[in-house]
Each structure stands twice: as structure tokens, then as C-alpha cells.
Amino acid sequence: MKSMRLLPILWLALCAVLPAAELAFESTKKDVSAGADATRVDVDFPFTNASGQPVTITRFQSNCSCMTVAVQGGKQRYEPGESGVVRATFDVQNLSGEVERFAVLWLEGDPEDKPSVKLNVNFHIPEVVKVEPKTVKWEVGAKPEPQVIRITMQAGEPVHIKAVGGTGSAFKHELKTVVDGQEYELVLTPASTAAPVLGVFRMETDCKNERHRIKQVFAMVRKPAAGEPAAPAAKP
């Protein structure tokens, strides 16, 4: 009888030392350089079932609408020693500079809040028309002082801003040429900071690369975020 009682204990002990079902990836982080004219980039993450048990990928999710994730061939269950590929496909039309994106994968048995796998991609995408900052902000009640957005051309040849258009009359704008074809300043000034408002400005260039021909920047009057001190009120 004692030996019968020991069997469940031995079984539990054996299960405790068995390796958890897992997928071994060649790499979970990728550095990718994309061309200035690229619109789509595929990044592959090869893996192998390195455990002694079958592994099933139940679902996956990315942190950006620009990124879709799929298992090559649609296969989800992998036997011990079997290999596969997770492919991440990126729409990079609206991305530039240094960009990081990631996706997570849940394996069978994973808790909802703890997926087993995180795959990271760091993109290096040339900024043909570089805009800094892309958004300027004023707090409600702050002094409506002008702020500057700087535009520099990185193409190695002159690129000119042909026109600037804005939405509504909440912000005044002035385009200044610092170096023709190379550097510009867009000066934005709110007409009032009495209430929240958003402005969108569209800059049209003569860039040969169609992807970078149009650039948008934003101006906003906003209420202070939670926990932030309010800005000094504008003097009448």
C-alpha cells in the first residue's frame, strides 16, 4: 500500500523536472535597414521546438497597426525538433528614422497576461525630409508664444518646400528659409490658448521620392496631463 501511495508523488516529482514546452528562436531581436523608397518590409524569425513535448502557437499580436504577424504556412503545432518561421510584415510608408516595433506570441497554456515570446524589430529608415519636432504644444492658459519646427533635407541634393497649408485659423504659420533647398523653419503661433485646439499643417516639397513629398506636422493647445503642474496663465 505504501508503494501505491508513493506513485502519485513520484509522478509529480518527475513532471516538475520536465522542461516546459518552448520554442527556441535563432534570435528574438532584429536590426533592419530599409531603403528610403521602401513601402513594405518582411522580417523572418526562424525557430525550433527545443522541448520534448509538442508546442502549439495559439495566437499572436503586434503593438502597431503597421505590423502583421503570421506563422509561415499557417502551421501552429510543432512536434519536438520541428522547425518553423514567424514572419512579421511591416508597412513602412509612414515610418522614418529609428523605429522599434514588437510582437508577442502565446503558446498553449500561457496565461492571458504572460505570452511566452516577444519578438523585437529595430528599423533604420532614412529621413529624406527630417522634421523636428513633429508636434508643438501649448497648455491651456499659457502665453501664446511662437514655436519653431525645423525641417532639414537629408537626401544629399536640394529639396524645396513649395507650399504650406493649415487647417482653420486657430494657428498662424510662417515659413522661413534658412538655407534654400536644405533647411527651413516653420513658425507656429496659436491665436489663443483659452481652450484646447488641434491644428494640422501639410508641407508640400519637390522631393523626387514620392513617399517623402508630403510631410505633416501638428500644433495643439491642450490641458495639462494628470499630475502635471498647470502652465502660468497668459497675461491679458
- pLDDT < 70: residue spans in the chain: 1-21, 225-236
Domain housing 72: 20-125
CA Rg value for the chain? 27
Domain tally, the chain: 2
Whether 227 is covered by a domain: the verdict is no
95 with 188, same domain?
Answer: no
Whether 44 is covered by a domain: the verdict is yes
H helix runs in 18-138, sequence order = none
Residue 219 exposed, middle or buried by CB count within 10 Å (0-12, 13-18, 19+): buried
Q: Hey, what's the cell of 38?
A: 521602401
- What's CA 212's distance to the chain center, in Å? 18
Instruction: List phi, psi (to 5°) of 83.
Output: -115, 160
26 with 117, same domain?
Answer: yes
pLDDT at residue 82, as a whole number: 96
Using left for φ > 0, alpha for ψ between -120 and 50, and beta otherwise, residue 181 falls in left
Whether 211 is covered by a domain: the verdict is yes
Whether 13 is covered by a domain: the verdict is no
24 with 121, same domain?
Answer: yes
134 with 121, same domain?
Answer: no
| Domain harbouring 163, CATH code | 2.60.40.10
42 with 100, same domain?
Answer: yes
Give the dihedral of Cα atoms 66, 69, 74, 79; nearest 10 deg: 180
d(CA 26, CA 48): 8
Give the dihedral of Cα atoms 202, 135, 234, 232; nearest 10 deg: 180
